[in-house]
Structure 1
Amino acid sequence: MKALVLAGGSGTRLRPITHTSAKQLVPVANKPVLFYGLEAIAAAGIREVGIIVGDTHREIEAAVGDGSAFGLSVTYLRQDAPLGLAHAVLIAREYLGDDDFVMYLGDNFIVGGIEPLVRRFRADRPAAQIMLTRVGDPRQFGVAELDGTGRVVGLEEKPREPKSDLALVGVYLFTAAVHEAVAALKPSWRGELEITDAIQWLIDAGRRVESTVVSGYWKDTGNVADMLEVNRLLLETVEQRLDGEVDPGSEIIGRVVVEAGARVTGSRIVGPVVVGAGAQVRDSYVGPFTSIAEDCQVVDSEIEYSILLRRASIHGVRRIEASLIGHDVEVTPAPNTPRAHRLVLGDHSKVQISS
């Protein structure tokens, strides 16, 4: 069995962060989202992985390499334009051969991994196996319609008028039967080859398509709110580890990780929090569910429930919360103090904030 990981796409919902970074490499708990997916694939016993890449291919390839760091053998497959999930299957046809495969969207996070799903698929081998979850706005997703017995009778990609609130989770399992379906597709009204249309083709052709409705299982990290929520979920699992320097004037409460080379002085940190290697936290308060990446600086400031990317610096600011702050961003005081700040800043930004 192989895996097909989709790591193209422009990440419009995470702009301006994704103007300069691949959306799959934006970190949660100081590790790129894509890495969690690759680790989940390896944990499910899959070793051969094809990664679909687009304009950000150099960044993805530099981060993942040959896959050996994850126990995988990785092959990169270029997609010149984001023409749909089924188009990714089409261009991967030669690589996939007649093998069963799991298709994994690289910006999705599956709580608990995919090993149980892969095990069930290998045992039953339907033509396709999909996961569904209830969402507030199904217009943003592929949507499934079930009959009274729970059988899938219809699928539609990002419908203007959804027939249900059941969205397809970003993990699909297929046998080689899907290639016949993909070959028969025409572009949708969006101009893309839709994987939902391919699965509908299998249903119409009498092929067996299994589905499971899951709850609290999946997060699409395509927007800031979900990035912060996944960060929270992952930080809930950390255990205290103080490999860096923490001076006697600092107070560390709860599950806090201070990586080697990081320095905390005169500060109060309430976990769960991760402070990356080379980062400095000085005369500051860092609250729960905050990830501070490598070589960041937080000085004379307050921040919580936020993500700081590499080399970001915050000096003399109160108070930042529910924020995603990009690489090399500088946040400093300015006149006219607001009570709180909520920021989404692109890489290399310079922002002055009243404090």
Structure 2
Amino acid sequence: MTPVTKVVVMARGLGSRMRREASADLSPEQASAAAVGAKAMMPLGGRPFLDHVLTRLADAGLVDACLVIGPEHTAVRDYYENLPMSRLRVTFAEQAEPRGTADAVAAAENFAGCDRFVVVNGDNLYPTESVRALIAAPGSATVGYSRDGLLAHSNIPAERIAAFGLLGVRGAALIDLVEKPTPDAVAALQTRAGDPAYPLITMNCWLLEPSIFDACRRIGPSARGELEIVDAVRALVADGVEFTVVPSDEGVLDLSARGDVAAVSAALAGHEVNL
């Protein structure tokens, strides 16, 4: 297999939860970033959160990063265009409107070309080992994070985890994606997998082939009115495309709201940025 070197970072979101007023101990610089929903550029230890995200991706062996941003995100573009880097090459793809994660991935089609590529959220910091395992997988794949691992090693509370999408797995193959799962849906997925440790949780950490772009064009809006990458993946699975599920008991840091800033900042204390 050709080594995977490319990653698409979805950094276009509106940051609605981050903009929402909430009691949080933020510095003036952090409060300014929160006011405009600039999660990627949230200063933590003197560096934007996205610097930490990109460092972990570089640690995993990825060298070409495409940041999907909006036309208004000139600060992101200016920052990375003027930042000296030795391990990463950073380019940009513009998503004209925030139409969802599938639309964000589609914006990076020229960047991906004919190569397989990783896709991650710009407001999540993923563990290096799970990304390394992902890019070693054949074909298309995704990381499935265990609930226990996320509870033990991330800043995400149990009630938020309970609302995350689930991966239906048989053996090592993805067979279903369930969003907003009910207890009955969880039980059904455990039965189908034949393992009480399942189902695993999707944190939007994907290894995709170029066939995803056609799937992104084929799907319609979800119930939320957005074009969702999970629906594009579901369409490929229905077509017979096999997705390997790479299990992980590690944690993922989540910077979605003002209340997350302190915990993420503490978790990254001493984390060295190396781009």
Settle same-fold status: TM greater than 0.5.
yes
Quick one: distance in 2 between partners of 1:174 and 1:94?
14
- Give the aligned partner of residue 143 of structure 2: 130
Structure-2-length-normalised TM-score: 0.73
Query: Residue deviations 1:166-212, cap 9 Å, x none?
Result: 43123211122322322321111111111111121222122111113
- The alpha carbon displacement at 1:214 in A equals 2.4
Query: Residue deviations 1:115-140, cap 9 Å, x none?
Result: 5235423xxx2223333332533564
1:26 counterpart letter in structure 2: M
- The alpha carbon displacement at 1:27 in A equals 2.5
- Give the aligned partner of residue 13 of structure 2: 9
User: Contact (CA 8 Å) 1:131, 1:172: kept in 2 or not?
Assistant: no
Residue 174 (str. 1) matches residue 208 (str. 2): yes
User: Contact (CA 8 Å) 2:165, 2:202: kept in 1 or not?
Assistant: yes
- The alpha carbon displacement at 1:55 in A equals 5.2
Q: Which has the higher helix share?
A: 2
Residue 71 (str. 1) matches residue 87 (str. 2): yes
Q: Please tell me the root mean square deviation across aligned C-alpha atoms, in Å.
A: 2.7
- Give the aligned partner of residue 76 of structure 2: 60
Summarize the alignment of residues 331-346 of structure 1 with structure 2, pairs less than 5 Å apart.
none
**Which residue, out of 113, 123, 128, partners 1:107?**
123
- Give the aligned partner of residue 224 of structure 1: 258
Query: Residue deviations 1:270-291, cap 9 Å, x none?
Result: xxxxxxxxxxxxxxxxxxxxxx
1:207 counterpart letter in structure 2: V
Summarize the alignment of residues 1-355 of structure 1 with structure 2, pairs less than 5 Å apart.
1-15=5-19, 16=21, 17=31, 18-20=34-36, 22-54=38-70, 56-65=72-81, 68-69=84-85, 71-112=87-128, 116-121=132-137, 125-134=138-147, 136-138=159-161, 140-146=163-169, 149=171, 151-157=173-179, 159=180, 161=182, 163-164=185-186, 166-235=200-269
- The alpha carbon displacement at 1:14 in A equals 1.6
Where in structure 2 are there 5+ consecutive unaligned residues? 22-30, 148-157, 187-198
Does the residue aligned with 2:222 lie in a helix, a strand or coil?
A: coil
**Alignment length (residue pairs):** 233
Query: Residue deviations 1:206-232, cap 9 Å, x none?
Result: 211111332342122112343322222
Query: Residue deviations 1:32-58, cap 9 Å, x none?
Result: 211112112222332222111015411
Q: Which has the higher strand share?
A: 1
Moved more, 94-103 or 172-181: 172-181
Quick one: distance in 2 between partners of 1:115 and 1:167?
15
User: Contact (CA 8 Å) 1:107, 1:222: kept in 2 or not?
Assistant: yes
Identify if the C-alpha distance between structure 1 residues 119 and 153 changes in structure 2 by more than 3 Å, giving closer, same or farther.
closer
Quick one: distance in 2 between partners of 1:155 and 1:27?
34
Identify if the C-alpha distance between structure 1 residues 45 and 237 changes in structure 2 by more than 3 Å, giving closer, same or farther.
closer
- The alpha carbon displacement at 1:91 in A equals 1.9
Greater C-alpha Rg: 1
Identify if the C-alpha distance between structure 1 residues 67 and 36 changes in structure 2 by more than 3 Å, giving closer, same or farther.
same
- Give the aligned partner of residue 330 of structure 1: none
Does the residue aligned with 1:87 lie in a helix, a strand or coil?
A: helix
Quick one: distance in 2 between partners of 1:175 and 1:144?
19
Quick one: distance in 1 between partners of 2:71 and 2:172?
40
1:62 counterpart letter in structure 2: D
Query: Residue deviations 1:64-93, cap 9 Å, x none?
Result: 226642532222111122111111121221
1:174 counterpart letter in structure 2: L
Structure-1-length-normalised TM-score: 0.58
- The alpha carbon displacement at 1:152 in A equals 3.0
Percent same amino acid among aligned pairs? 26
User: Contact (CA 8 Å) 1:145, 1:155: kept in 2 or not?
Assistant: yes
- Give the aligned partner of residue 152 of structure 2: none
1:152 counterpart letter in structure 2: L
Does the residue aligned with 2:61 lie in a helix, a strand or coil?
A: coil
Identify if the C-alpha distance between structure 1 residues 69 and 21 changes in structure 2 by more than 3 Å, giving closer, same or farther.
farther
Quick one: distance in 1 between partners of 2:63 and 2:160?
35
Identify if the C-alpha distance between structure 1 residues 207 and 54 changes in structure 2 by more than 3 Å, giving closer, same or farther.
same
